[in-house]
């Protein structure tokens, strides 16, 4: 008789479904249990029961209850057991004194590599601290300080100089090679580098024209210098011919822009002042920029051939700014010149050389690889990237491989200021260089490398570092509130100020009063610039370079200046009462100045209907009447003009069933105020935030 198709033979370890099926024998002859597991195999070897105990406890059992851990899971478990937990994740902690050095624009991944942590864990920790960032996002110094403090590390963001030093050391290049003390037998005299500065139309370019006997003025647009140029001239002095290098700038803006990149180019500044015009606002700006750079100044009193020329007036005015002529007992040389007629040119050159010999050590080692600074650069259609460089030490030769900022290449040709081909350039020699891959920036340093591959790698790493630093949030510079903390941390010891006012008398009175403040031991107050008129971009640039605070007295910033100051992190303060400015500066120096905050209304909403919710409490169905209602902002409830709920927060904000972050005017929404449920139809919900109040 054929068996039914639905009947199957009994599986091992199971009782037969048919009648008369006797008990089966498990391994070792023991009867099978009702569950199908061998009765005697509960703790035996190799039991295969699906639901019995052999799969759970048997040695080598193949039951589902056995779950083996991988080596990675065991290692992660061990790390979690050994590392403290923060915010639900395990992060290795420091002892509070462990220093971690990070480059500008570093990311969480860079920090994680330094402390051998998981970047994802640091992202989670940063999230619990109120900051959201990805593992590869560039972060600013303040964010790293918060994260480091939480984890027990001291964060040090290296300066651009230290970053450059570490970069070059990785290529076995000594960043401080030109700063090392060398033997006197290796040093040779070099020409001084002179920058000509002054007020517009006071004759700067015409003076250089008279010195070089060229026609630079005729080639300029409207008689105003449109580019930066560097030239070298020869001057006969006491039976010897000495060279002087002049840098012709379009003003002190470029001078400060190069200083902002760490370029110390100028040895001496020549301040040009018209004898018939006297000291003008740009004259004062140029003077302050030169003094901030701490370079000697020679004054050229120009236009002595014109009627009404009064050099004594110029000397008296400049005495007020700290430039005292030698005949008045000072140490500043004043030379009377006429650029139009060529009078006094030799005396001016002699004064420059005498000042250089008296105040500076004009020596350098020409017998090594060249190092210097890019003065200007442009892209020429026929010649490619053309850079005007100033050699500061060593000798630059055709065929050398150089790197300048993020540009690199082999020197294919060099030209002097007259367009003549040169093959070598020694210290203080300006030349035009062809062969760079891209156009460097004014103020970028250059040096010679052994091969082109090294130059390319250095340029690429510099470009990456600059890009990361730009992507990071810009670090805020010194402000009045944090000046005392910066002094305590040893970051600064001088409070630099820039004063701008509506009239010169008010500026002078403010400066005199500020300088009389008793600042205490170890702290200095310094006014690096003062002027009349609106706050300009030049003021912000100077404050950026010298980490200064701008004080505006009855003046406001010019167009787009406020955006530039915010972008650069420069602190600007505006006052209309002189005593308020004096009090703030004095309190800042004593570490007592705290920021003032004011309430700024964001929006108002009218309650139309109240919805009851067992989970969220009462929800105010509202329509926005003005402004914007944002989630997590402060709020208050008004009923018939009276405040009935204060110190509230918009905990939830919805549009229909969707959670939203903000709702604008004339749109309906649901507003939840947390535990506050005393809200009725017709009430007004007002949202606001506290913002730092600018001092007036």
Radius of gyration of the chain (CA): 38
Q: What one-character DSSP code corresponds to residue 440?
A: P
**605: closest CA among 630, 585, 580?**
630
Element holding 584 (H helix, E strand): helix 578-589
How far is 67 from 50, CA to CA, in rounded Å? 15
Q: In sequence order, what are the residues at sequence separation of 6 or more whose Cβ sits closer than 8 angstroms to the Cβ of residue 453?
A: none
> Is 20 in contact with 10 (CB distance < 8 Å)?
no
Question: Which helix or strand (DSSP H or E) is residue 242 part of?
Answer: strand 240-248
CA separation for the pair 138, 108 (Å, rounded): 8
Bridge partner residues of 607 (DSSP): 622
Secondary-structure breakdown of the chain: helix, strand, coil percentages, each rounded to the nearest 5: 30, 30, 40
- What residues does 446 pair with on adjacent strands? 372, 404
> What DSSP line would sit under 40-70, residue for residue?
GGTTSBS---SSSSHHHHSBT---TT--PPP
Q: Which residues of the chain have pLDDT under 50?
A: 1-66, 81-84, 87, 178-181, 214-228, 262, 473-476, 592, 696
Reference 245, options 291, 195, 206, 204; nearest CA is: 195
Structure-token pair, residue 171: 């290529």
d(C-alpha 202, C-alpha 223), whole Å: 11
For residue 66, what are the CA distances in angstroms to 3, 33, 35, 48, 77? 39, 21, 19, 12, 19
Beta strand 268-274 with 297-302 is parallel
Beta carbons within 10 angstroms of residue 535's beta carbon: 24
Is there a contact between 302 and 279 (Cβ–Cβ < 8 Å)? no
Residues 641-677: pLDDT tens digits? 888 988 899 988 999 888 888 999 999 999 999 888 8
Range list of β-strands (E), 398-465: 401-404, 407-415, 421-422, 424-425, 430-436, 445-449
Phi, psi for residue 251 in degrees, rounded to 5? 140, 180
Where would I find the beta strands (DSSP E) of 506-596?
524-532, 548-553, 572-575
End-to-end C-alpha distance for the chain, whole angstroms: 110
Other beta carbons less than 10 A from residue 556's beta carbon:
12
Cβ atoms within 10 Å of 471's Cβ, excluding its own: 12
Identify the three-state secondary structure at position 348: helix
SS3 sequence of 266-285 = CCEEEEEEECCCCCCHHHHH
What's the burial of 348, exposed, middle or buried (CB within 10 Å: 0-12/13-18/19+)?
A: buried
pLDDT at 263: 53
DSSP notation for 90-136: E-----S-EEEEE-TT-BHHHHHHHHT--HHHHHHHHHHTT----TT
Residue 683: the pLDDT is 93
What does 315-330 look like in DSSP terms, one character per residue? HHHHHTTT--BGGGT-
Q: How many CB atoms lie within 10 A of CB 144?
A: 23
Q: How far is CA 371 from the centre of its chain?
A: 26
pLDDT at residue 103 in the model = 78
Contact present, 528 and 259 (Cβ < 8 Å): no
Contact 245, 373 (CB under 8 A): no
């Amino acid at each position: 008789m054929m068996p039914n198709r639905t009947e199957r033979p009994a599986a091992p370890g199971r009782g037969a479904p048919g009648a008369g099926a006797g008990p089966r024998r498990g391994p070792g002859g023991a009867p099978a249990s009702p569950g199908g597991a061998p009765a005697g195999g509960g703790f035996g070897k190799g039991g295969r029961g699906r639901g019995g105990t052999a799969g759970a406890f048997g040695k080598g059992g193949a039951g589902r209850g056995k779950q083996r851990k991988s080596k990675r899971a065991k290692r992660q478990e061990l790390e979690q057991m050994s590392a403290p937990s923060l915010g639900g994740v395990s992060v290795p902690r420091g002892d509070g004194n462990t220093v971690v050095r990070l480059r500008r624009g570093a990311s969480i991944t860079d920090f994680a590599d330094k402390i051998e942590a998981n970047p994802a864990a640091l992202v989670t920790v940063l999230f619990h601290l109120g900051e959201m960032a990805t593992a590869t996002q560039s972060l600013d110094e303040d964010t790293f300080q918060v994260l480091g403090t939480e984890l027990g590390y001291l964060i040090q963001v290296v300066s651009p100089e230290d970053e450059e030093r570490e970069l070059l050391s990785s290529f076995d290049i000594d960043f401080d090679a030109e700063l090392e003390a060398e033997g006197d037998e290796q040093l040779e005299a070099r020409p001084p580098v002179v920058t000509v500065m002054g007020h517009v139309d006071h004759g700067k370019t015409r003076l250089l024209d008279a010195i070089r006997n060229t026609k630079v003025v005729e080639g300029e647009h409207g008689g105003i210098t449109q580019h930066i140029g560097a030239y070298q001239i020869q001057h006969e002095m006491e039976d010897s011919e000495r060279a002087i290098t002049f840098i012709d700038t379009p003003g002190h803006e470029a001078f400060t822009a190069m200083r902002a990149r760490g370029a110390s180019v100028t040895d001496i500044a020549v301040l040009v002042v018209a004898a018939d015009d006297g000291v003008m606002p740009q004259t004062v700006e140029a003077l302050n920029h030169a003094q901030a750079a701490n370079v000697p100044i020679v004054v050229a009193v120009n236009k002595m051939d014109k009627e009404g020329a009064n050099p004594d007036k110029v000397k008296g005015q400049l005495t007020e700014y700290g430039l005292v002529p030698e005949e008045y007992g000072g140490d500043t040389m004043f030379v009377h010149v006429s650029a139009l007629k060529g009078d006094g040119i030799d005396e001016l050159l002699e004064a420059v050389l005498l000042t250089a010999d008296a105040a500076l050590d004009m020596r350098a080692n020409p017998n090594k690889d060249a190092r210097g600074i890019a003065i200007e650069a442009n892209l020429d259609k026929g010649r490619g990237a053309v850079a005007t460089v100033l050699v500061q030490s060593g000798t630059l030769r055709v065929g050398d491989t150089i790197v300048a900022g993020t540009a690199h290449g082999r020197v294919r040709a060099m030209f002097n200021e007259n367009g003549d081909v040169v093959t070598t350039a020694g210290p203080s020699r300006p030349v035009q260089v062809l062969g760079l891959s891209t156009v460097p920036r004014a103020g970028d340093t250059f040096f010679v490398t052994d091969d082109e591959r090294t130059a390319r790698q250095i340029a690429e790493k510099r470009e990456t570092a600059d890009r990361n630093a730009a992507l990071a949030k810009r670090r805020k510079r010194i402000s009045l509130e944090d000046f005392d903390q910066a002094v305590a941390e040893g970051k600064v010891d001088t409070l630099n100020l820039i004063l701008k006012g509506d009239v010169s008398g008010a500026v002078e009175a403010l400066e005199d009063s500020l300088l009389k403040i008793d600042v205490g031991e170890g702290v200095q107050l310094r006014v690096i610039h003062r002027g009349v008129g609106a706050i300009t971009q030049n003021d912000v640039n100077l404050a950026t370079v010298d980490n200064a605070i701008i004080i505006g007295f009855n003046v406001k910033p010019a167009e787009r200046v406020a955006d530039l100051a915010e972008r650069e992190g420069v602190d600007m303060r505006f006052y209309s009462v002189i005593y308020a400015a004096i009090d703030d500066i004095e309190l800042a120096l004593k570490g007592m100045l705290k920021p003032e905050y004011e309430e700024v209304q964001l929006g108002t909403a009218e309650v139309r209907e109240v919805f009851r919710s067992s989970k969220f409490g009462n929800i105010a169905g509202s329509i926005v009447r003005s402004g914007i209602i944002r989630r997590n902002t402060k709020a208050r409830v008004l009923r018939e003009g009276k405040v009935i709920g204060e110190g509230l927060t918009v905990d939830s904000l919805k549009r229909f069933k969707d959670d939203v972050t903000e709702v604008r005017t004339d749109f309906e929404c649901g507003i939840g105020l947390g535990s506050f449920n005393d809200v009725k139809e017709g009430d007004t919900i007002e949202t606001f935030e506290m913002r730092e109040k600018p001092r007036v």
